[in-house]
Amino acid sequence: MTGELNDKVAIITGAASGIGRASSLLFAQEGAKLVIADVSDGLQETAQMVRDTGGDVTAIQCDAGIENDVGKLVDAAVSQYGGLHAAFANAGIGGSFAGIFDHTVEDWQEVLRVNLIGPWLMVKHAGKYMADNGGGSIICTASVAGIRSGAGGPAYSASKAGVMNLVKVGAQQMATSNVRVNGICPGIIETGMTAPIYSMAREKGKEDKIGQLNPLRRGGEPIEIAQMALFLASDRASYVNGQSIAVDGGLSSSHPVTRQPFGQTAV
């Protein structure tokens, strides 16, 4: 490891598993002091894994879509470690794959609350602290589903498109503050959210079909997203701002999808 985040403090949400856990371990290995968060009990397991590798971590079980909770994460970073240099707003939920006519308002509200309002709250609270204290990097997890249709349910796709625009607006509104705001658009990655897809494929002996629509012909690993988050959090990305970078094996270069006639459900 090269110590890319030595002397830096970072917040990571959605840290109980998947991309958040991989990022927590990688950031700690690169020298960051961490405040990690999730609603799941798996958060404490991630914290112990970080400690077992010699990392310094504070774990706070909270909801990344609630303003007071996000504010507490920023306060914890400052009080525990004396500052905040990077924030990875990674927490998210998948929502329903039901057709656009079959969703309820409640479905949409919950997906937007976690997936879009959550990252905005991180931009608001972490961004304000960073802007007042010399700058920093905010990273938001978007998705290839936000780039164009065919990679997620209606509410999920809309929420991730919103994240992609949020990082542009955030970058512009914090111009001259030395705060960078960027997004990552993962393709299909084996995480808690995609576990049912992977489990079904394995049960049917079709695991080799996962990711078959992208040029690399495979799904991705959480560490491959964590590596991009590390880059964006580090000084190596000092001239990267307002961007949403796809890490998807090339899927978004085409997004092939089987289209069903109106009124029919894909099988």
CB 157 within 8 A of CB 142: no
Positions marked catalytic: 156
| 238 domain-assigned | yes
SS3 per-residue string spanning the chain: CCCCCCCCEEEEECCCCHHHHHHHHHHHHCCCEEEEEECCCHHHHHHHHHHHCCCCEEEEECCCCCHHHHHHHHHHHHHHHCCCCEEEECCCCCCCCCCCCCCCHHHHHHHHHHHHHHHHHHHHHHHHHHHHCCCEEEEEECCHHHCCCCCCCHHHHHHHHHHHHHHHHHHHHCCCCCEEEEEEEECCECCCCCHHHHHHHHHCCCHHHCCCCCCCCCCECHHHHHHHHHHHHCHHHCCCCCCEEEECCCHHHCCCCCCCCCCCCCC
Number of domains in the chain: 1
| 67 domain-assigned | yes
| 201 domain-assigned | no
CB 11 within 8 A of CB 77: yes
C-alpha gyration radius of the chain: 18
Block mean pLDDT (10 aa), the chain, length 267? 93 97 98 98 97 98 98 98 98 89 94 98 98 98 92 93 98 97 91 58 58 78 97 98 95 68 54
Q: What is the pLDDT of residue 125?
A: 98
| 46 domain-assigned | yes
Task: Supply the range of the domain harboring residue 240.
Answer: 9-192+221-249
| 200 domain-assigned | no
CB 110 within 8 A of CB 103: no
Q: What is the pLDDT of residue 250?
A: 87
| 116 domain-assigned | yes
> Which tokens sit at 86?
């990077």
> Which tokens sit at 11?
């917040």
Q: What is the pLDDT of residue 222?
A: 95
CATH number at residue 234: 3.40.50.720
| 64 domain-assigned | yes
Q: What is the pLDDT of residue 267?
A: 42
Task: Categorise residue 112: left if φ over 0, alpha if ψ from -120 to 50, beta otherwise.
Answer: alpha
Q: What is the pLDDT of residue 195?
A: 52
| 208 domain-assigned | no
Q: What is the pLDDT of residue 95?
A: 87
